[in-house]
Chain A
Amino acid sequence: MSGAALALAALLGLTLVKATPLIYAALGGVLSERSGVVNIGLEAILIAGAFTSVAVSGATGNPIAGTLAGIVAGMLVAAVLAFVATRLAVDQIVAGTGLNIAALAGAAFGLQLIYHQPGASREVPALGTPGENVLIVVAFLAAAALHVVLTRTPWGLRVRACGEDPSAAESAGIDALATRFWAVVTGGAIASLGGVYLALAELDLYSDGMTAGRGFIALAAVIFGRWTPFGATGAALCFGFLAALQFSLQRAGVPSELLQALPYLAALVALAGFAGRVRAPAADGMPYIRG
């Protein structure tokens, strides 16, 4: 292979590495939002997945156990949001913001309890290498699976019905609150794998603030991808490509801050409708109260 082709291959490989956590988080966000629950707490779910997988992988020496524990932690965090958003019908945005603050602090607190040092854990048994990792493949399979579930299965139809018009869904005999709850929790399981990948494949440890706003970039990918699994995956790949490009463009004198800001700006552009019609699920963000 020529030098240019090698460089291109390396760039694409890095794109996959950078995009994988975003894909998982964005897919979790898509499922949650299609059911009508805005998931600002994606960042919290990534943090929970990352921290717990490291703690358990370190304690057991088994990264598979770490991965499973990370998924459970992500589901628990999502369940908190799901519970207050469905049963208590509180403001989802406010609750998600609180969740992000609590998760970041909780992980930092946990670091001090377990490792008796602030900042970072020690290295733990890893799950493969960043580039050759089963989780990269699983991310794309998850996107396809979510697409099929949302468009071809009764449960997917029920989820979407709750996201568009929960009271109509209830008239048709669907339990809107339960459907939303499980959509958010399942979304939490998917999103947590993004945190697991970051922690056990990329860094092999947990360090304070390591998710670095990826939950919000994923949220941008959900919007830019128009709330569909493939759209969100495509957007996550674009954002991953930007992140991969950063190293080479920085050397060429392009300010890295501009590249880092692009996903957020892309979401703004999409929101303002400059990139074609963008429509969130009609009942996205609205608590459903029976009555």
Chain B
Amino acid sequence: MSAALRVRTLRELLVVIVVVFGVGSIAMLLAHVSPVDGFAQLVDGAFGTPEEVGETLVQAAFLLFPALGIAVAFRAGLFNIGAEGQLVLGGFAAGWIGAQLPLPAYVAVPMVLLAGAVAGGIWGAIPGFLKARFGANEVIATLMLNYVATLLCTYLVTGPLQQGGATAAETGALPKAAHLPDLIGLLADPQPTLAYLLTPFALAVILAFVLRRVLLHTVFGYELRAAGDAPEAAKRAGIDLGRTALVAMAISGAIAGLGGATIVAGELHRFNTGLSAGYGFIAIAVAIVGNLDPLWIVVASIAFGMLQSGGIAMQAEAHVPKEVIALVTGLVIIALAGRRAVANRRTT
């Protein structure tokens, strides 16, 4: 990293810190809470006990999957704001398949995750295809498909694909075999509740390392980045921009869909239409703060996971409405919308 770039990065991180603490403090003062107490409760609620650390990492994992997916699309110069829909559809496919698989765990769990990835991948590939074939703006397409995804899942789960036993907008429950295994439990753990929580995070971190390798050290990753950084030059060098867009969007969607499947198999153990608390949108902040680099995105996901899990404690203990967290998240996105990595995206 060059010195100039390092200064720039430091300045951007400073902006994030100022936004988080400045706006957070003002909001807490408005709620008649001392910012010192508020932030103390936030950190304590996120890291105070082993269970809370576990919950923070779960939240980090649920943000990490869509954020990694977003980073892939962004690096290819495609602004995928459809991670939310891709995640929801992935969760639906995972829940629907998972609830009716009478299989042993070593088959059921991979099947459930695969179902989520395939469904999310298809949902991501649609705007990729529309862009490659018709030049349709992927931003608007992914945005519109978010709503279509939620509506489609609601329709399927209450209509043609309704499963016995489910009364609300949800699938049947996943059998125990389709639950994500308890990572530390496999190593003989006395506290299984905390332990299973770590599996999604471990999976997401492994994925981040793989993704970094693919992006930086493979021909495909090079083509993808070239299409994003200098589309004209890439085209002249013989890179098929349409195909790259399609593949990048499919991979991006598949990763977000995998995230949805992880929420279903790791936490809820069934799909319901409210499974995402806006993870696909908050993940945009995570991806940008992580500068679209998979490993920095891991770090950013822990910070945002902390805000998510600590925010609930902050509301309960310090009586600061937890909406402060979403408010700060939105402002961080605005503040960092000028990052170079973001500004590079192809605009047509």
Which A residues lie at the B interface, using CB under 8 A? 38, 40, 80, 84, 88-95, 97-106, 108-109, 112-113, 118, 213, 216, 219-220, 223, 255, 257-258, 260-261, 264-265, 267-268, 271-273, 280, 285-287
Contact = CB atoms under 8 A, between A and B. Distances in A.
Interface in B8-31: 27, 30-31
Shortest beta-carbon contacts, A-B, top 9? A102-B330, A98-B333, A101-B330, A105-B326, A90-B338, A257-B155, A90-B337, A98-B334, A94-B337
15 contacts: A90-B342, A100-B330, A103-B330, A109-B323, A112-B321, A213-B147, A220-B144, A257-B152, A258-B151, A258-B155, A260-B147, A268-B136, A271-B130, A271-B136, A285-B139
B163 interface: no
A175 B272 CA distance: 51
B334 A84 contact: yes
Nearest to B284: A97
A264 B146 CA distance: 9
A257 B323 CA distance: 29
A240 B136 CA distance: 25
B281 A101 contact: yes
B144 A267 contact: yes
B321 A216 contact: no
Interface string B314-347: 0000000101111101111111111000110101
A91 B144 contact: no
Interface string B180-221: 000000000000000000000000000000000000000000
B345 A219 contact: no
B227 interface: no
Given A84-B334, A101-B278, A265-B144, 20 more contacts: A84-B337, A92-B337, A95-B333, A98-B334, A98-B335, A100-B330, A102-B327, A102-B330, A106-B323, A106-B327, A109-B323, A112-B31, A258-B155, A264-B144, A265-B148, A267-B140, A268-B136, A271-B137, A273-B135, A287-B343
B334 A91 contact: no
A268 B133 CA distance: 13
A43 B257 CA distance: 25
A268 B345 contact: no
The majority secondary structure among interface residues of chain B is: helix
A105 to B, nearest CB: 3
A90 B139 CA distance: 16
Interface in B125-145: 130, 133-137, 139-141, 143-145
A272 to B, nearest CB: 4
B18 to A, nearest CB: 15
A272 B151 CA distance: 21
A104 B326 contact: yes
Given A98-B337, A255-B155, A268-B144, A105 B324 contact: yes
Contact of B134 (A88, A94, A219, A273): A273
A265 B140 CA distance: 11
A10 to B, nearest CB: 26
A84 B342 CA distance: 14
Nearest to B140: A271
Contact of A264 (B130, B147, B285, B323): B147
Q: How large is the interface on B (under 10, 10 to 19, 20 to 34, 35 or more residues)?
A: 35 or more
A271 B138 CA distance: 9
Contacts of B30: 113
Interface centre among A90, A92, A99, A220 (most CB of B within 10 A): A90
Interface centre among A84, A97, A255 (most CB of B within 10 A): A97
B27 A109 contact: yes
A105 B154 contact: no
B278 to A, nearest CB: 7
B331 A118 contact: no
Contacts of A287: 343
A98 B326 CA distance: 10
B152 A261 contact: yes
Contacts of A98: 284-285, 329-335, 337
A252 B326 CA distance: 40
B12 to A, nearest CB: 12
A264 B125 CA distance: 17
Contacts of A257: 151-152, 154-155
B53 interface: no
A101 B155 contact: no
A291 B67 CA distance: 34
Given A108-B321, A113-B30, A271-B136, A102 B144 contact: no
A109 B81 contact: no
A116 B306 CA distance: 26
Contacts of A272: 130, 133-134, 136
Nearest to B321: A112
B30 to A, nearest CB: 6
A257 to B, nearest CB: 4
A118 B134 contact: no
B65 interface: no
A257 B342 CA distance: 34
Contacts of B92: none
Contact of B147 (A93, A216, A258, A280): A216
A158 B80 CA distance: 32
B334 A95 contact: yes
Nearest to B332: A98
Contact of A216 (B143, B331, B335, B338): B143
Contact of A109 (B141, B151, B284, B324): B324
Contacts of B334: 80, 84, 90, 94-95, 98-99, 102
A216 B154 contact: no
A97 B281 contact: yes
B159 interface: yes
B324 A40 contact: no
